[in-house]
Amino acid sequence: MTEETLFELARKTPEAERAAFLDRACEGKPELRARVEALLAADAASSPLSKPSPTIEASTGFQATASFTSPEPSPGIVIAGRYTLEQKLGEGGMGEVWVAKQSKPVKRKVALKLIKAGMDSKSVVQRFEQERQALAMMDHPNIARVLDGGITENRQPFFVMELVNGLSLNKFCDEAKLGINERLELFVPICQAVQHAHQKGIVHRDLKPANILVTMIDGKPVPKVIDFGVAKATGGKLTDESMSTQFGAIIGTLEYMSPEQAGFSNQDVDTRADIYSLGVILYELLTGLRPFDSKRLKQVALDEVIRIIREEEPSKPSTRLSTAESLPSLAAVRHIEPAKLTALLRGELDWVVMKCLEKQRDRRYETANGLVRDIQRYLSDEAVEARPPNTGYRLKKFIIRNRGKLLATSLVFLALVAGIAGTTWGLIEANYQTGQARQETRAKDQALIQTQKRLTQIGKGVELFSGLLSGISPRSEEKEGKPLYEQLRVRAVKAADQLESEAVADEVAEARLQSTLGNTLRELGSYSKAIEVLEKARSMQEKKLEANHSDTIRTLAYLAAAYAAVGRRGEAIALFEKVRDIQLKTSPNDPDTLGNLSSLANEYRGVGRTVEAIQLLETVREAMVKNLGPEHADTLLCLNNLALAYSDARRISEAIPLYEQVRDAQVKHLGLEHLSTLTTLGNLADSYRDAGRPADAIPVLQQARGALEKKLGADHPDSLANLNILAATYWSLNQLDQSIPLFKDILARREKKLGRQHPDTLVSIANLGVNYKDAGRLAEAIPLLEEAYSAAQKHPSLRSMGTQLQEGYVKAGKFIEATRLTNELVVDARKRLPKESLQLARQLALLGLAFVDLKRNDDAEPLIRESLAIRQKIEPDNWITFNTQSMLGRVLLHQKKYLEAEPLLLKGYEGMKQREKTIPPLGSKRLPEALDRLIQLYTETNKPDEVKKWQAEREKYPKLPEKK
């Protein structure tokens, strides 16, 4: 191994472990060690490592080094007269990567890579030029584009490429908690980018997650492959110099390296080396682990690491994962239960990964496109081409590994086989005749027993359902003083208990009855009992029936709906996804399949996976309209769920027409007082309120309230959901004397029925807390808001309670608590929300105003400035951007910075005035607020004419209520 390679390996080893590494690698070679230590000392003195930015990652593979001194690049240095260095992103063995500002011919931010100090040996300059030329040859949306290149005044080669703002592949997937299918979908364009490079004659040779950055474009994750610094030409020349690698150097990163590449001479490396690396990346994406234990590789000498890579067979992903101590945490970031994760990988995904990792490269996928096709087959529930090695191949591998032991063993084995074969054949022939006679008698007895069982089952079924339905009529409602719904619920619970104590003769039939009863209990609102009964049915059916039997699938769907009803959404989603995977293979257009897909999407919506929910519901809508018709009950339910998802995404203008379409069809076919119609009316009213039309919402809600409580009872979830919307509508109208009693009633009923920790109960706690705060009842508000906010980690939809609680602290004079919480919310927002996103801009503005309420304008100013900068970049023509300008002017006004405040306040008002028609009703007060700030500015700066002018303009708008 060359001293350059050893230097790079040692340089990447932590200082505490470096001496031990050199002991192993340089054993018996003191001169080599001395030269490597000299290189390490020179490197430490001339070019200390800089840590990469947390949001932009750059990396290169192991590269050769040499000694050379050059002025150290630093912020402010101008390269080639047009690129000003701003911030170092990171560095590898030969190159430094900087964020640079390009001044001409266009102004933009770019990534600039140049040879770092001490790295201009002929071989390194040649390889650097190779990377520039390799990138210039490629044009693919998932490969970072090269824009320019040249030589600096200090003879340092450089090239310029697009700046990729993103996270490394694994970090992005884990932080976004992508599921397995989502990870596979993200992996496909990576493979397509590699295929493009291969078609251009380029082998990357250092593919790894750090060299794949994921950035958000139009709200979608887009992977970009970077760093072709160790690429190899598979045909022709990329530069005027030879492309061959220096003898004895290892090019790449060992843990992602193919067996043929892992050595001291890799002249015979072709595109299939990248297929192997893609397999390692896929292995890690799916499991969070690499094929070989990283701890073990760090503890052994380099020669042993290479032997492991070249000779040892890695475990299949599912096998490796099943024994991992970190399985629970690995499953959590993949949105799946541990046992289900290993089960999901077992089989086809194992086969795909292991085909990539074959030691013999002719057994791997021939191209990256071949790998893409198999992944797409898996995602489409089609059979993959990858298969486990056949018996002959495995036997051949076994013999090669165990030649000596097998020679003696095989002779004994052959003798045993010969003796056993003769004896076995005689026994089979003798037993055949006797077995035939016994089988005929047994068949007759079995038929009689089955007939008796069927009669018992029919009798038990008739008895159970007669008890459930007998005597139920409108008169019984008057006689017992209970709604029909409540009477049925009590009888269904009794029937379930009776079924358990007096089991029918056949276990499969009993499970079928339990499944039907369990679903009935769910629909009647007895969720705990429903789950109990359905779990028993599921257990019996999974023992007695095939996994894809229609009875089993039906029970799983019923059970998923029951889990959803009690807020156990993780379990509901896992079951619905299991049902989906089977039904899409067996009956993709069946009404039950489409209905279950709609329910799955609704659960995605419930856990904040709104984009997935909308995509799935839009697909299901098309299939239902085509197969069932536009006014079928299931189609209307799907449209209702889609409208809910649009509402969650703040696409109210799309939600309202859908609700109105569903309402009109339901009134036509079911009548105005049907439960489905009433549920839709509640959702429609909620959208009217969100659209600033509360006056339209209230009569609809009041009409629905009476009908729901009459049919279902006041405690039914549908009745409470409608009541919650009514209370929220009163709150939006500031009629707190109406909203507070309703919210108190809802909370009491939900807590009694669902428990204190149920998501619906927690939402009621939050709603009541906000109402108490707005009414000035702070002693009652703050404990409720604290309780709701503390649950936000488990229920992200409650995060907004942080700003409500902060406002409560300010109103109560608890400024220390308010300041602590505001700082905490700022940190959380930066950690949780995408950089330079509208979500971050919105949260920063809210938190900036929270600091204004705390009279901490110095803390507020940078937050609102950052919010404005993001908005001006993403949506410069939106009225909200101009409102943010006015808000920043307000902060500067409070700081007496009148000269800075004036242009912001003027532009903010004028921009909003020009876009007044685009401001929704809920934002109508923003214009008069902006005018009030201008009046305050000119009053404080003693400009009476300006005050008079703006007061005249202000009179066109109503007076705003004073803040309590």
Q: Is 206 a catalytic residue?
A: yes
Map tokens 């993403």 to a residue.
Answer: 874
Asked whether 86 and 75 are in contact (CB, 8 A), the reply is yes
Q: Is 905 exposed, middle or buried (0-12, 13-18, 19+ CB in 10 A)?
A: buried
- How does DSSP classify residue 868? H
- The H-or-E segment that residue 8 falls in is helix 3-12
Phi and psi (nearest 5°) for 350? -55, -45
CA 282, distance to chain mean position in Å, is 17
Residue type, 422: G
Name the residue among 281, 282, 286 with its Cα closest to residue 327. 286
Asked whether 768 and 743 are in contact (CB, 8 A), the reply is yes
Helix (H, G, I), strand (E, B) or coil at 90: strand
Radius of gyration of the chain (CA): 35
Helical spans, DSSP H, in 775-856: 778-790, 801-811, 815-832, 838-853
Phi and psi (nearest 5°) for 896? 65, 25
Active-site residue identified among 43, 120, 174, 206: 206
Asked whether 21 and 1 are in contact (CB, 8 A), the reply is no
Instruction: Write a three-state SS string for 173-226.
Output: HHHCCCCHHHHHHHHHHHHHHHHHHHHCCEECCCCCHHHEEEEEECCEEEEEEC
Across-strand partners of 101? Answer: 84, 109
| Ramachandran class of 943: left when φ > 0, alpha when ψ lies in -120 to 50, beta otherwise | beta
Contacts of 439 (CB under 8 A, 6+ apart): none
User: How far apart are alpha carbons 806 and 85 in whole angstroms?
Assistant: 41
Contacts of 580 (CB under 8 A, 6+ apart): 593, 596, 597, 600
Contacts of 129 (CB under 8 A, 6+ apart): 157, 239, 241
Name the residue among 399, 416, 415 with its Cα closest to residue 407. 399
Asked whether 461 and 499 are in contact (CB, 8 A), the reply is no
User: How far apart are alpha carbons 454 and 450 in whole angstroms?
Assistant: 6
Q: Hey, what are 224's tokens?
A: 């970009």
Contacts of 924 (CB under 8 A, 6+ apart): 692
Q: Give all strands (DSSP E) within 471-545, no chain letters.
A: none
Residue 135: CB atoms within 10 Å: 25
Q: Strands of 167-168's sheet, edge to edge?
A: 167-168, 212-217, 220-225
Q: Hey, what are 757's tokens?
A: 């920790």
Map tokens 């703002």 to a residue.
Answer: 165
Which residues are known to be catalytic?
206
